[in-house]
Chain A
Amino acid sequence: MGKAIISVKSLVKVYKMGDVEVHALRGVNVDIMKDDFVAIMGKSGSGKSTFMNIIGCLDVPTRGQYLLDDVDVSSLTKDQLANLRNHKIGFVFQSFNLLSRTSALENVELPLMYNKKIASREMRERSLNALEAVGLADRAHHFPNQLSGGEQQRVAIARSLVNDPVVILADEPTGNLDTRTSIEVMGIFQKLNHKGITIVIVTHESDIAAFTKRNITFRDGRIIKAIEVDKPRNAMDELANMPVMVEEDEV
């Protein structure tokens, strides 16, 4: 493998709530390489989301070192972090986090609005391309409440990739979706990974983790296991061979 995009050393996160201290991360060390596709697993409360938020620059660690694309994140100001999120990271949330009453296209445009270098023509083009990449070009002008959960998640993925990030981080992207839709979403990620984008997802399901290249398991704020996936599943092939249940029922 090539160089490390994400390099984390002795990462510690402590939440203080009054007198009580919650140790969410107790010293995490991990390198994630360019072109990697990683699934983070582990029991509820083991610190997966905390880890994702920190490497996504949405939250700051209590202690420890974090290099993103060779940049030491801990030394950056708030504005520089915002810039980093805008240029290098795409984040996908379990609860989609789309702007309500705002069309799919405008939601996808959002990261580009905060990029000074992009003209509005290019903004529109790139957003439509991103929607095309997730197969939602024809729904560009629909509002989130007119879309299914899977479609909303695809809009969120389109939003995460529209700014050409080096890494896409997705916290339980399939958590609210059924099996078939989950595989569709994993297919999109595999396609993006194939184009060279590093992808890290959190999932509870080993079926989903099997679509990735590497599985890392958390327990009590530490990494206890990291394995290469022998033979990753291929979402495209599986979807092609999958019987379409509804139509069979109707026959």
Chain B
Amino acid sequence: MKVKNLLIAALRSLAKNKMRTFLTMLGIIIGVASVIAMLAIGQGSKQSIQAQISTLGTNVLMIWPQASSAGGVRQEAGSSQKMTLEDVTAIADRCPSVAYVTPQVRSSGQLVNGNMNWRTSVYGVYPNYFEIRNLNLSNGNLFTMNDDRSATKVCVVGQTVVTNLFGSDADPVGSFIRINKIPFKIIGVTEKKGQNAFGQDQDDMVIAPFSTVQKRMMAITYIQSMLASAKSEPQIAAASQEITDVLKAKHNLGPSEDPDFTIRTQTDIANAATATSGILTILLATIASISLLVGGIGIMNIMLVSVTERTREIGIRMSVGARGRDVLLQFLIEALLISLLGGFIGVTLGVLVSQLIANILSWPVTITIQSILMSFIFSSAIGIFFGWYPARKAAGLNPIDALRYE
């Protein structure tokens, strides 16, 4: 049989059984659409988590004193008083892989400007904190190490703080505010950063010189934590090891003793988050495969239901001279046309659903070519297999047996 005639036969057969064609296609449409949407959601969340982790800074290491468990009651991490400025100096001097290190204290502060007030966190850090966290100023200047040495009452504020104390478009640089009744001069405003991975507003904070916050606001002598950065990404592990060695030596701990501090690197956090989103992706992929399978069973059902009618049709075609392979080829083309069209509609629907999810749930979605190709190929395989298999059985019959089939 000529290819053209085969195409004609396949198209006629699809056109005269519109309901059957549609139902068969529906399985593929739903399967493909769900795979694409599910993978888009999984991929999207993975990418957004990665993007947000990179907002932590570059090659960051966080160092906390180990939570003391005095009297069996475990305290909040950072509540220990074992970490001092000497530790910071030691790390800065003796760790070749470390680029920057800063002590960190955090206090909560009641901010007042005239009749406006706002409550937020006040961080006390060295100026190199801005290098570690990739923070930039949109306005004004940064404080210096001299400000730290003399505990100057200056600060840099986030955009949210500006909005709540001065109004949205105000420039507060040079103004004075009171933090816990102490007057501070605002010398800079940070660039807007938005929410982080955990939904916190990263613009809602005040950053001041370390000793200003430690001595004037909190009146403590220890430091709550440290933030450091490695010189390059491959050096993160080395930096972590160097810091461990230096701190253990400073705290008089032997190499085999447990450290009294915890180091968490950016890689650790990224790995944990990627693992979580990996589980999410597997979960979604499972759901998608199930719907693809259900779609496949639907196709098989339709094919089996119509097999009596189709077997008679095959008998008629063979009685007028169709060879087994003519019949098979026609059915293959039919299945192929259904799969391609269904796959195409499925891809379109999947993309639309993904966009809908992105817009309505404001969930990040990423559609990859691979997911489109994969679902397309997979569903076509299902469609062709289930469309072709009953035909193969019928084409093996004697024409008269096919005609008599019930």
Q: Which residues of A contact B (CB under 8 A)?
A: 53, 56, 58-60, 78-79, 82-83, 85-87, 91, 93, 97-102, 106, 110-111, 113-116, 120, 159, 163
Contact = CB atoms under 8 A, between A and B. Distances in A.
Contacts of A91: 319-320
Contacts of A82: 318, 321-324, 326
A101 B17 contact: yes
A168 to B, nearest CB: 12
B322 A102 contact: no
Nearest to A87: B321
Nearest to B395: A78
B1 A79 contact: no
Interface string B320-333: 11111110000000
B313 interface: yes
Nearest to A82: B323
Contacts of A115: 321
A78 B5 contact: no
Interface stretch (B50-58, B132-140, B246-254, B396-404): B396-404
A16 to B, nearest CB: 13
Contact of B316 (A86, A97, A101, A116): A97
A111 B321 contact: yes
B185 interface: no
Nearest to B330: A113
Interface stretch (B8-16, B192-200, B356-364): B8-16
Contacts of A163: 320-321
A53 B1 contact: no
Nearest to A77: B323
Contact of A114 (B8, B313, B322, B403): B322
A102 B12 contact: yes
A85 B399 CA distance: 11
B74 interface: no
A45 to B, nearest CB: 16
A102 B320 contact: no
B327 to A, nearest CB: 10
Nearest to A116: B2
Contacts of B16: 100-102
Given A58-B399, A58-B403, A85-B320, 12 more contacts: A58-B398, A78-B323, A79-B324, A79-B325, A82-B326, A85-B318, A91-B319, A97-B316, A101-B16, A113-B1, A114-B326, A120-B4
Interface residues of B, number: 29
B62 to A, nearest CB: 72
Contacts of A85: 318-321, 399
B392 interface: no
Candidate in B5, B321, B322, B401 with the most chain A CB atoms within 10 angstroms: B321
Nearest to A60: B398
A86 B398 contact: no
Contacts of B318: 82, 85
A117 B292 CA distance: 43
A114 B1 contact: yes
Interface in B1-51: 1-2, 4-5, 8-9, 12, 16-17
B231 interface: no
A237 B173 CA distance: 117
B317 interface: yes
A63 B2 CA distance: 35
Candidate in B12, B16, B323 with the most chain A CB atoms within 10 angstroms: B323
A101 B8 CA distance: 15
B12 A106 contact: yes
Interface string B125-163: 000000000000000000000000000000000000000
A32 B170 CA distance: 110
A106 B322 CA distance: 15
A241 B324 CA distance: 48
A106 B16 CA distance: 12
Contact of B1 (A59, A97, A106, A116): A116
B400 A113 contact: no
B400 A59 contact: yes
A114 B321 contact: yes
A98 B320 CA distance: 11
A78 B320 contact: no
Contacts of A99: 313, 316
B316 A113 contact: no
B333 to A, nearest CB: 13
A237 to B, nearest CB: 33
B323 to A, nearest CB: 4
Candidate in B322, B324, B326 with the most chain A CB atoms within 10 angstroms: B322
A208 to B, nearest CB: 23
Contacts of A97: 312, 315-316, 319, 403
Nearest to A95: B403
A79 B323 contact: yes
Contacts of A110: 316-317, 320
Nearest to A101: B16
Contacts of A101: 16-17
A59 B399 CA distance: 7
Given A58-B399, A60-B398, A113 B8 contact: yes
Contacts of A106: 12
Query: 3 closest pairs, A vs B, by CB?
Result: A86-B321, A111-B320, A101-B16
Interface in B304-347: 309, 312-313, 315-326
Given A82-B318, A97-B319, A106-B12, A113 B5 contact: yes
